[in-house]
Amino acid sequence: MMLRGPGVTLDLPPGWEAEIDGGAGDSTPDGESVTTPRVHIANFPLPPVRGDFGSGAVERMIDGDVLLCLLEESTSAVGSRLHDLAGLPQLRADDFSPNAMQRPLQGQSGTQKFFHVEGRAFVLYVVMGSHRSRLALLDDVNAVIAGITIQRD
């Protein structure tokens, strides 16, 4: 299933769903609020209301569930050391840690990757419903990431 949003295209495997909207807000140095694309991808039913980093959804996750949150950051982040990685990352099992969760939830683990693509800076936050199942789900997660295309603004 293909889903297109502003500058982002997703090619999703069967059973996965996603939403692309302008949820992630950022502030410029002069205090102006800027809205940038927010992408949520999941292999379980995404609730209609969610926080940028998946609050509202992660509480519903069980073993076998995966949530990916792709958030664009301000263009000033491009060129920073934090976003030095070029291109969408591929994940490894040892990337995931319960300590990397935005808010620790029992049994779950997460990882966060910062990178830049096409002159745009992003953070990818991935949550596993069960830390123990991360190895079995890793190929699926990397396939979903490989299906993300980011175009230049």
Partner 1 sequence: MGLLVALLTIVVGILAVFVVGLLRSHADILRALHDTGVSLDPANATARTTAHPGDATTFSTSAPTIRTVEGVPEPAGASGQRAHDITGTTPNGGTRSVAVTGTDSATLVAFLTTGCATCANFWHAFAEGVQLPADARLVIVAKGPEAESPADVSALAADHVLTIQSSQAWDDYGVPVAPYFVLVDGRRGVVVGEGAANTWESVRNLLDRALADAGYSGSQVRRRDLLLGKARTERVDRDLRAAGIEPGDPRLYHAPEEPS
Applying CB under 8 A, the residues found at the interface with partner 1 are 1-5, 10, 12, 14-23, 44-45, 47-49, 60, 62-63
Rounded least distance, CB 102 to partner 1, Å: 19
Rounded least distance, CB 122 to partner 1, Å: 17
Nearer to partner 1, 20 or 124 (CB): 20
DSSP 21-74: EEEEEEE-TTS-EEEEEEEEEESSPPPS---TT-TTTGGG--TT-EEEEEEEE-
Neighbours of 132 (CB within 10 A): 11
Nearer to partner 1, 9 or 95 (CB): 9
Rounded least distance, CB 44 to partner 1, Å: 8
Rounded least distance, CB 5 to partner 1, Å: 5
Torsional sign, CA 56, 131, 98, 41: negative
User: Tokens standing for 134?
Assistant: 């991360």
Nearer to partner 1, 55 or 80 (CB): 55
